[in-house]
Structure 1
Amino acid sequence: MSLRAHLGVEFFVNLFPLIGRKILSVVAALVSIIFFIMMIIYGFELVNSAMRQTSPVLQLPMGIVYLVIPISGIFLIMNLLFTTIIDVLQGEEEHHDDPVI
């Protein structure tokens, strides 16, 4: 997981030249960002509707519990932007010939 690699996907991606791999990386990041934005938008809608409910034991609004969804979406976008920018700005990538387990 630390290599951010999946054996089957890496095999397919490595068939492309460096510029092709970078384009695929950006396209995958954009698709993921669209999903994360939807997660944030609908997460806030869920939080808003759940604020009327209270947890039975703690007597807290359930919206506070559901805040983890949009907050996670924000952190996921930040992490994805950071790693994608690093991947695109990197020179020639290192290729690990060791199998990813």
Structure 2
Amino acid sequence: MKNSLKCLVSAVLLCAGTVALAVDDYNAPPAGDKQYAACISYSNKNYEGGNEKSPVKGQSKAQAFCTCMWNETPEDFKGSLAKFAETAKGKSTNKTCEKHSDWGN
């Protein structure tokens, strides 16, 4: 029983660590990407604290949030990343990206 519990705990910790590493490795949006730039502009204009330092090295909270949104939306998504995060459909992605950037609730 103790060995089974140890294996289960080890597996959970390994999975949690792998997910945490994957989140730090988001692809950077291409230079000049209009969706990403619009997301940062909209976020900084409509929300407080976007210029504060995020847990992601070298990124503000708005940059980390928008990088996450850019990566988490489908490839063919053409709309506003920040406005999508405000919709019912984008709620889950918003929550993921708020956690990634340490911004929001």
| TM bucket, shorter chain | 0.3 to 0.5
Please give the TM-score of this superposition, normalised by the length of structure 1: 0.35
Larger helix proportion, structure 1 or 2? Answer: 1
Please give the TM-score of this superposition, normalised by the length of structure 2: 0.34
Higher-Rg member (1/2): 1
